Amino acid sequence: MSRPTEATAGRAGGAPGKPWRAAGTALVAALALVGAGLIGVALAAPDPVAPPAPGAGAAPDDPDRVSGDAPAGGPGDASAPPAPELPGGTGLARSEPAMIRIPKIGVVATILPLGLTPDGMVQVPPLTRAELAGWYELGPTPGEPGNSVIVGHVDSREVGPAVFFRLGALLPGDGVEVIRRDGSLASFVVEGVKSYPKSAFPTELVYGPSETPGLRLVTCGGDFDERTGSYPDNIIAFARLAR
């Protein structure tokens, strides 16, 4: 995968620990243009079974205004040291993610760092390695203040059901664990899951600024369109760092 040059993209998170708004409105506008195509290259698997769609109980009362603290506790791993908090308990120190675990849907996946393609699109993991997830490295790391974004394919012709095939089956309260390269564990609790048409991708909710450490998991959804060779929707899981 190609890497964006400094001329086309800088670290959207600014200095370590700073919220995503350091990117400014220009990058937000650019992401609004590419959001509809995010993970839009997932292909139909030979198995015609459709990925699960979020249920009525998966979204929060107001899914377009996800807010509030995550429930106390959350998933843990006694073998991983606690992640170091920043002064004031506002989040965790910057450390890139290495692996994601979602016990509810059986996900244990290595995470690749992703940037932007030369034409300004968000990079995705290669379809031949659709079992991998990808972290948008121009934003915060998981646990830092702001919305950290991890994307994954729903399926591909090469491997069939992919890493986030069952993302739509998550419910509020389900746990997501991100193992970071400093050896620490960032534990998140799902607040809601919702499907959006790609033509109405919620750019601000996914990539926009936030003082609270959040996690956004994104994949494709809806009924596969044989004519276009893609899915019409994006399924997005919203999660908060467990305190």
pLDDT confidence of residue 153: 97
**Average pLDDT over the chain, rounded to an integer:** 76
* Gap between the Cα atoms of 9 and 226, Å rounded: 34
Residues 6 or more apart in contact with residue 150 via CB below 8 angstroms: 97, 100, 111, 133, 134, 135, 136, 142, 178, 215, 216, 217, 218
Cα dihedral value 64, 69, 71, 76, nearest 10: 100
pLDDT confidence of residue 58: 82
Residues 6 or more apart in contact with residue 26 via CB below 8 angstroms: none
Specify whether the CB–CB gap between 151 and 121 falls below 8 A. no
Helices (H), the chain: 24-34, 203-207
Q: Distances from the Cα of 189 to the Cαs of 140, 143, 200, 238, in angstroms? A: 17, 12, 25, 9
Categorize the per-residue pLDDT at 16 as very low, low, confident or very high, splitting at 50, 70 and 90: very low
Instruction: Look up the pTM and report it.
Output: 0.76
Domains by residue range for the chain, with CATH: 91-243 (2.40.260.10)
Express as a percent the part of the chain with pLDDT over 70: 68
* Gap between the Cα atoms of 173 and 95, Å rounded: 25
pLDDT tens profile 161-199 = 999 999 999 999 999 999 999 999 999 999 999 999 999
pLDDT at 220 over 50: yes
